[in-house]
């Protein structure tokens, strides 16, 4: 088991305490549910990182702190410790703590801040055992300061939760719009994707000669998402000679689609200096076709179901060019295509804005945790 030294420069008024000093461990009360207890039910059934099901009976009926014992991803921010309240059932993958001499929210944040991954045992499935948790020694401020710090962090958490709700509602709105817009009964003509495109093809079925110092990249389906071509630190580079030899006739009407392994991710070509691998398909739309409209259709439930039924391969799934060319596409007028693309793009912009806002709030909270939970910045009581 890894160990972590207690902070050397202890802020004035703070003192070392173990989790056992401030919390009562209720692990002896937790247990897995039987099939009869599980179905049906409306009471939350908790595991290492949150709700895993709903049951018809409860073990606890109070505010408690759960800490992942195994199955938690301790490398993630604020993932291994969380608070529950009201009637609940907890299985044996989460430790159960009743905070007696500390602010429960503060303790949760402090445990997450101190990264419990430093205290796990085991290699295949890491485990934070009860003894390691309860003997964990941290430095704690007085209870009034705990409460103040907790209030500040909780305020940011509430803003993150509000943003999450907006994202969820907007994504639900988009899903409903796409379902209605891309139904066959809209009266629009249905044609194969081949009929509305100039060319459909894929990339190199092989390995190019890589270059370590170049501005040209060799991309595959895993480089495509959110209507973009994403270049990562690990993305391979190729020489200009290789690029010119393998490049495809991509243009401003090109849609890129992942077709091997990960299916259905979309990127738009924007004059990037890239050559394609075999898991990236390119779809060059005709002049009277709005590429954004086609992209939204390719993401619709109707087309996703069509792709899913047509996949080949066992371990690694593949979408053939023949299947893609035969994809049944609804074709309204160019004006209608443009209007629909604008409506859905506006919804996407709202989702994107709120995702960026959530990221900023998350980074703000990380900074506050660093300042407040280390005692580097003190709060006024």
Which pLDDT does position 123 carry in this prediction? 62
Which pLDDT does position 4 carry in this prediction? 44
Task: Specify whether the CB–CB gap between 273 and 218 falls below 8 A.
Answer: no
C-alpha pair distances (Å), 194 with each of 87, 191, 231: 56, 8, 29
The dihedral over CA atoms of 274, 279, 280, 285, expressed in degrees to the nearest 10, equals 150
Strands 15-18 and 81-84: unpaired
Length of the chain: 381
Distance (Å, rounded) from C-alpha 261 to C-alpha 279?
8
Which pLDDT does position 105 carry in this prediction? 95
Q: pTM above 0.85?
A: no
Which pLDDT does position 113 carry in this prediction? 87
Q: Which of 269, 179, 188, 190 is nearest to 224 (CA)?
A: 269
Distance (Å, rounded) from C-alpha 49 to C-alpha 64?
14
Distance (Å, rounded) from C-alpha 293 to C-alpha 255?
11
Distance (Å, rounded) from C-alpha 132 to C-alpha 119?
7
Give, for all 381 residues of the chain, the pLDDT tens digit. Answer: 344 444 557 889 999 999 999 999 999 999 988 876 666 789 999 998 899 999 988 999 999 999 998 866 655 544 689 999 999 999 999 999 999 999 999 999 999 888 777 777 766 667 888 998 999 988 999 999 999 999 999 999 999 999 999 999 999 999 999 999 998 778 899 999 999 999 999 999 999 999 988 999 999 999 999 999 999 999 999 999 999 999 999 999 999 999 999 999 999 999 999 999 999 999 999 999 999 999 999 999 999 999 999 999 988 999 999 999 999 999 999 999 999 999 999 999 999 999 999 999 999 999 999 999 988 899 887
CATH 3.90.220.20 intervals, the chain: 15-140, 189-331
Which pLDDT does position 126 carry in this prediction? 74
Distance (Å, rounded) from C-alpha 54 to C-alpha 342?
40
Which pLDDT does position 77 carry in this prediction? 43
For the stretch 53-62, pLDDT in tens is 999 889 999 9
Which pLDDT does position 72 carry in this prediction? 63
Which pLDDT does position 5 carry in this prediction? 43
Angle CA 34–39–44, to nearest 5: 85
CATH class held by domain 15-140: alpha beta
DSSP bridge pairs for 189: 331
Superfamily for the 189-331 domain: DNA methylase specificity domains (3.90.220.20)
- Within 10 angstroms of residue 339's Cβ, the number of other Cβ atoms is 14
Which pLDDT does position 124 carry in this prediction? 64
């Amino acid at each position: 088991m890894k160990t972590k030294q207690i902070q050397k420069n202890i802020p004035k008024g703070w003192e070392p305490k173990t989790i056992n000093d401030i919390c009562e461990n209720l692990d002896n009360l937790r247990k897995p549910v039987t099939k009869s207890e599980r179905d049906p039910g409306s009471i939350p059934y908790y595991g290492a990182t949150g709700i895993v099901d709903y049951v018809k009976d409860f073990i606890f009926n109070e505010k408690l702190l759960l800490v992942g014992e195994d199955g938690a991803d301790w490398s993630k921010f604020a993932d291994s410790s969380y608070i529950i309240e009201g009637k609940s059932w907890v299985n044996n993958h989460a430790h159960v703590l009743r905070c007696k001499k500390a602010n429960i929210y503060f303790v949760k944040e402090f445990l997450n801040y101190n990264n419990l991954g430093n205290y796990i045992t085991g290699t295949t499935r890491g485990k934070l055992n009860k003894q390691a948790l309860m003997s964990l020694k941290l430095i704690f401020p007085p209870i009034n300061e705990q409460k103040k710090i907790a209030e500040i962090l909780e305020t940011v958490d509430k803003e993150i939760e509000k943003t999450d709700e907006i994202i969820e509602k907007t994504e639900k709105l988009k899903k409903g719009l796409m379902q209605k817009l891309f139904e066959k009964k809209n009266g629009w003509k249905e044609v194969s994707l081949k009929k509305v495109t100039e060319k459909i093809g894929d990339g190199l079925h092989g390995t190019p000669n890589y270059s370590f110092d170049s501005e040209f990249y060799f991309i595959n389906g895993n480089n495509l998402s959110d209507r973009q071509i994403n270049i990562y630190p690990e993305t391979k580079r190729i020489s200009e000679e290789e690029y010119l030899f393998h490049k495809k006739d991509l243009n401003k009407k090109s849609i890129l689609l992942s077709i091997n392994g990960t299916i259905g991710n979309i990127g738009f070509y924007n004059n990037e200096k890239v050559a394609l691998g075999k898991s990236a398909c390119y779809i060059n739309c005709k002049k009277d076709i709005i590429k954004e409209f086609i992209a939204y259709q390719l993401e619709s439930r109707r087309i996703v179901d069509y792709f899913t039924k047509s996949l080949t391969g066992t371990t690694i799934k593949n979408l053939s060019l023949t299947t893609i060319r035969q994809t049944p596409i609804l074709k309204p007028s160019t004006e209608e295509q443009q209007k629909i693309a604008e409506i859905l793009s506006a919804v996407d912009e709202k989702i994107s804005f709120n995702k960026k806002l959530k990221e900023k709030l998350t980074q703000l909270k990380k900074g506050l945790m660093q300042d407040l939970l280390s005692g580097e910045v003190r709060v006024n009581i």
